[in-house]
Chains A and B, each alone.
Chain A
Amino acid sequence: MTVLGIENVSKSYGDVHSVQGVSLNLNEGERVALLGHNGAGKTTLMRMVLGLTPLTSGRISVLGQPPGTRKARTAIGFLPESVAFHGALTGREQLHHFARLKGVKRAVADDLLERVGLTHAMNRKIRTYSKGMRQRIGLAQALLGKPRLALLDEPTSGLDPISRHEFYDIVDDLAKGGTAVLLSSHALTELESRTDRIAIMSQGHLLANDSLSNLREAARLPIQVRVKATAETADDVAARLGGTRVNGASVALEVQQEGKVSLLGQITGLGDLVKDIDVTPASLEDLYRHYSVPQQEGK
């Protein structure tokens, strides 16, 4: 079932076109990563879904409702970029307040404080919190009332690697419960295994919107293969496989997906000459550059 429908949406501020003709759908339980440079239009798009910023043209529906309506807002959990709270309140008071606004029991808020690992600090004033702790309160409030759609804007900025891992566990649980999750991030490596679909925005346009494997296939970026030999045999190996010698004892090769298996067979055929092999498919970072850079250079 479609939770979020974005159809041909544009937003202009005078001559500045922040978002141009973007269409994107999110289904129940889907995790979609929205990638883009600063100023690519990700936050503007999210604000339009929330009803905070009016659309210049196009249509957005949240569970069939226009953005900003009470029904649409009840269905959404939102974590803003660099989330802020009133420093004079404790974490627990702040979350209880949001629970009241969403019509959720306060016991649920307390459970969420535990889920995001803040129980120990819940009675301290928020002004004493670290950025990561504020981010956790932000995540907890976004989870209140089991939202059907979660919008998370740069959710892992300010979190340490362990916390990031815990954060994605929570996102996975959320998606398993049927929530559609749209999250934007700069930290590309952490997204690779944690999302179902990648959407790439640049200068207001949506340039890609597909699963990671499909994007890889479409981009036809070569797979990097590195064969480790010895200092004596590296030249021989390079000659036989047709790669270039690097770092004295290794040979670097590039191959397309369809040539991968035959190349690996060839390498295995070299027997004892080969000490080790590393096969690295195009990373999300390579893909992101592939999809977003030509657009930037073209302008």
Chain B
Amino acid sequence: MSTIAIARIELLIARRNMWVFTSLILMGLFSSVLTLAGGAPTGTLGIDPLLIATTSITTLSVYLIPLIGLLLSFDAIAGESERGTLALSLTYPLSRGEILLGKFIAHLMVLGFAVAVGLALTAGLTIWKYGSADLNYLPLLKLFVTSLALGAAFLGIGYTISALAKQTGVASGIVIIVWLICVVLYDLGLLGALVADGGGTFTKSIFPWLLVANPADAFRLINMPTETVSTLATGLGAAGQASGFAPQLASLLLWPVLALSMAWAAFRRVEP
């Protein structure tokens, strides 16, 4: 019950703080633009137009979803601790796990809502442009579910940072650094290592696992199944797919659990 009460009030706060609106506009706008513009280079070549759209949206989501996840979560514990609202909440008969879970449910709903609206726009616009025949909706559904998993992982990471940093100012700085590392620098580093290795052991046996260990990369790999598309998008395609689907899925499913466990462990040690 307490978890639902926390989720409910967090949703209300997210609505008042325009977080729902902001993430909705962000995802809706980008999805629409990419759907409309994404088909331009291919024209009507017979490739499933929805696949083109999801590929473009995946590339974008790799950046946007972790960002939204971290922005929704960095204030969750540090902010409440700073404002003094956390101490009062903790004098009520509910556990820290319930508080964390309640916040997580609310934030995931905000994120899920934004992604769902974005993808619905994509589907709608694709049907409007190409008609509904021969469209394969499976990639869309896969994109939605994996987006939730990716978002959940970064929400958990955000809560962990929020609990450890204890100050919102510090937490906001750290989440930006973490975001930059996860979605940009990590891949650049791997690419550099690949080039240096020149197709040796690292490329064949270590690199695929390092790639899939990053939830953002696992997300990208899952949603860009065909090597050609993936290679075009990232330049890491061929070697990246070496790990296969199962580890990619495992990475996306384990990260939220791991990140939330870390957040819980960190939150338990916070003295408000």
The tally of CB-CB contacts under 8 A between chains A and B is: 64
CA distance A84 to B81 in the complex (A): 11
One of B6, B17, B85, B271 near A53 (C-beta < 8 A): B271
- For chain B, the bracket of interface size reads 20 to 34
Provided the pairs A52-B271, A53-B271, A84-B84 are in contact, do residues A97 and B5 lie with their beta carbons within 8 angstroms? yes
A93-B12 Cα distance, complex, nearest whole Å: 9
Fill in one digit per residue for A71-90: 1 if any B CB lies within 8 Å of its CB, else 0. Answer: 10110101010111110110
Asked if A59 is an interface residue, CB under 8 A from chain B, the answer is: no
B12 touches A101 (CB 8 A): no
Closest to B272 in A: A52
Measured CB to CB, the closest approach of chain A to B80, in angstroms, equals 9
Give the chain A neighbours of B85 by CB distance below 8 A.
Answer: 84-86
Report whether B92 and A83 are in contact in the complex, using a CB–CB cutoff of 8 Å.
Answer: no
Any chain A CB within 8 A of the CB of B44? no
- In the bound complex, CA of A89 to CA of B13 (Å): 7
Residues from chain B with Cβ under 8 Å of A102 in the complex: 92-93
Q: Name the prevailing secondary structure of the B interface residues.
A: helix
Please indicate which of the listed interface residues B12, B16, B91 has the most CB atoms of chain A within 10 Å of its own CB.
B91
Q: Which residues of A contact B22 (CB under 8 A)?
A: none
Q: A85-B85, A103-B1 are in contact. Are A50 and B13 (CB under 8 A)?
A: no
User: Is B9's CB within 8 Å of the partner chain A?
Assistant: yes
Q: Which residues of B contact A80 (CB under 8 A)?
A: 84, 87-88
B91 touches A76 (CB 8 A): yes
Q: How far is the CB of B191 from chain A (nearest CB, A)?
A: 43
Residue in A83, A89, A101, A141 whose CB lies within 8 Å of B2: A101
- A82 to B2: give the CA distance in the assembly, Å: 25
1/0 contact trace for B1-21 toward A, CB 8 Å? 110011011001100110000
Please tell me if the beta carbons of A89 and B93 are within 8 angstroms of each other in the complex: no
Q: Are B91 and A73 in contact (CB under 8 A)?
A: yes
Residue of B13, B85, B88 ringed by the most chain A CB atoms within 10 A: B88
Contact among B83, B84, B94, B272 for A101, CB-based, below 8 A: B94
**Alpha-carbon distance between A257 and B68 when the two chains are bound, in angstroms:** 72
Contacts beyond the supplied A73-B93, A88-B13, A100-B2: 18 A-B pairs with Cβ under 8 Å: A50-B91, A52-B87, A76-B91, A80-B84, A80-B87, A82-B84, A83-B84, A86-B83, A88-B16, A89-B9, A89-B13, A89-B16, A97-B8, A97-B9, A100-B5, A100-B8, A103-B93, A141-B88
Residues on B facing A (Cβ under 8 Å): 1-2, 5-6, 8-9, 12-13, 16-17, 83-85, 87-94, 271-272
